[in-house]
Amino acid sequence: MMSEEQGNNGAGENPVFRMQKMYVKDLSFENPNAPEVYRLQNSEPKVDVNLKLNHKKLGDDHYEVSLQITAKILDKGNDDKTMFILEIEHAAAYLLKNIPEEHMEMVLSVDCPTLLFPFTRQIVSQISVDGGFIPFQMEPINFMGLYQNSKQQKATQQEN
């Protein structure tokens, strides 16, 4: 009897959070100094990684979240000669249903990319191997920390 009363209190249905499809939207691997770069690797490489997170509504309860990553790997021991440049936009379509509006921004900025990133990381690693290099393992990303920093910066900008 208790469950029937709870079911009819207008609280709505249970939230749904589901990745429906993953896909590569754009991928580029540049190896401008091959084959010389393979014999010149003398030191720990210099790594410059940039990340951009995008999300957009696709329709009722459907959203796309994409990670745009640019990684430039340089040989520090050889005048910062470019070893390789990798650019990827990896995305996923999500079904997000019955999620309260006040939580939606965090779900799109934290939960969705956290689920997607390990697959993106694997693609990046495999592409670097296919390019003739050791696996490039990107460091894990704290999407919650990025989200909180972004919220704090927006709050600070609004105060000024």
pLDDT digits (tens, 9 = 90+) for 15-43: 999 999 999 999 999 999 999 888 766 67
Q: Any idea what the CATH number is for the domain that residue 31 is in?
A: 3.10.420.10
Write out the two tokens for 16.
Answer: 């749904």
Which pLDDT belongs to residue 4? 43
Helix (H, G, I), strand (E, B) or coil at 144: helix
Which pLDDT belongs to residue 6? 42
Write out the two tokens for 158.
Answer: 């609004």
Which pLDDT belongs to residue 31? 96
Interior angle at CA 64, CA 26 and CA 30, nearest 5: 15
Buried b (16+ CB within 10 A) or exposed e, 5-32: eeeeeeeeeeeeeeeeeeeeeeeebebe
**What's the pTM value of the predicted model, to 2 decimals?**
0.85
User: Amino acid identity, residue 81?
Assistant: K
Confidence category of residue 5, pLDDT binned at 50, 70, 90: very low
**Residue 104 predicted with pLDDT over 70:** yes
158 domain-assigned? no
58, 50 contact by CB (below 8 A):
no
Rounded-to-integer distance, Cα 106 and Cα 95, Å? 15
87 domain-assigned? yes
The torsion angles phi and psi of 154, rounded to 5 degrees, stand at -65, -40
Identify which has the larger pLDDT, 53 or 151: 53
**Residue 9 predicted with pLDDT over 80:** no
Rounded-to-integer distance, Cα 146 and Cα 143, Å? 5
Which pLDDT belongs to residue 44? 80
Give the mean pLDDT of the chain: 90
92 domain-assigned? yes
2 domain-assigned? no
Confidence category of residue 102, pLDDT binned at 50, 70, 90: very high
Burial class (CB within 10 angstroms; exposed 0-12, middle 13-18, buried 19+) of 84: buried
The residue segments making up the domain with residue 99 are 15-138
Query: What's the first-to-final CA gap in the chain, in angstroms?
Result: 55
Confidence category of residue 154, pLDDT binned at 50, 70, 90: confident
Total tally of structural domains belonging to the chain: 1
150 domain-assigned? no
